[in-house]
Structure 1
Amino acid sequence: MPPTAGGSSAHCGAQLRNAGLANAMLRGAGLAHANLRSADLRSADLRSADLQGADLQVANLTAARLGSANLNAATLRDGHLSRCDLHQADLQNADLRHARLQGATLDMADLTGSNLSDADLCNAALRGADLQGADLSGARLRATDFTGANLRGAQLRAPLNSAILEGADLRGTYLHGHDLTGARMRGANLSGANLNRVSLTGADLRDADLSGAQIWYSSLVQADLSGANLMGTLSDDDLLVPGLNSLHMDGARWNLATEWPPEVYIAIRSRSVAVGEGAFVVAPSRVHDHAPVPQPVS
Structure 2
Amino acid sequence: MTETIEEQTFRNEDWYAEEWAGRVFTRCEFLEVDFTEAATKGVVFTDCRFGNVRFNSSRHTDSAFTGCTFTRCNLFDAEFTGCKLVGSIFTDCVLRPLKVLGGDWSFAGLPGADLRGTRFQGVRMREVDLTGANCADAAFADVDLSAAQLHSAKFTNADLRGSDLSSVDPYNVELTEAIVSPEQATVLVTSMGLQVRG
Structure 1 length as normaliser, TM-score?
Answer: 0.59
Matched-pair contact (CA < 8 Å) for 2:138–2:157: no
Contact between 1:42 and 1:64, CA under 8 Å: does it hold in 2?
Answer: yes
Higher relative contact order (CA 8 A, sep 6+): 2
Q: Give the % identical residues.
A: 21
Note if 1:193 corresponds to 2:193. no
C-alpha displacement of 1:177:
5.2
CA distance in 2, matches of 1:74, 1:88: 16
Aligned to 2:95: 111
Aligned to 1:155: 139
Q: CA deviation at 1:52?
A: 1.0
Taking a change above 3 Å as real, the CA distance of residues 218 and 73 of structure 1, as seen in their structure-2 partners, is same
**CA deviation digits over 1:5-47, x for unaligned, max 9?**
xxxxxxxxxxxx9654332210332222223322222211102
- How many residue pairs are counted as aligned between the two chains? 196
Q: How far apart are the structure 2 equivalents of 1:134 and 1:116?
A: 8
Greater radius of gyration (CA): 1
| 1:181/1:47 CA distance change after superposition, 3 Å | same
State the match for 2:192 in structure 1. Answer: 223
* Cα distance between partner residues in 1 of 2:163 and 2:22: 36
CA separation of 1:179 and 1:47: change in aligned 2, threshold 3 A: same
The partner residue of 2:65 within 81, 85, 88 is 81
Picking from 129, 132, 152, the partner of 1:145 is 129
Is the CA contact (8 Å cut-off) linking 1:165 and 1:185 kept in structure 2?
A: no
Deviations 1:146-187 (A, max 9, x none): 112222232211122322222222110122454422435664
Cα distance in 2, alignment partners of residues 169 and 222 from structure 1: 18
Alignment TM-score, normalising by the size of structure 2: 0.85
**Distance in structure 1 (CA, Å) of the matches to 2:80 and 2:174:** 26
Q: Once the 2 structures are TM-superposed, how far is the Cα of residue 122 of structure 1 from its aligned partner? A: 0.7
CA-atom RMSD, angstroms?
2.6
Higher strand share: 2
The within-5 A match list for 1:121-136 is 121-136=105-120
- In structure 1, the gaps of 5 or more residues are 1-16, 200-214, 225-248, 251-283, 286-298
> 1:92, 1:198 → 2: CA distance?
34
Structure 2, unaligned stretches of length 5 or more? none
Indicate which of 47, 50, 73 corresponds to 1:63.
Answer: 47
**Which residue of 2 is the match for residue 30 of structure 1?**
14
* SS at structure 2 position matched to 1:46: strand
Is the 8 Å Cα contact of residues 24 and 44 (structure 1) preserved in structure 2? yes
Q: Cα offset for 1:80?
A: 1.5
In structure 1, C-alpha distance between the alignment counterparts of 2:99 and 2:111, rounded to whole Å: 18
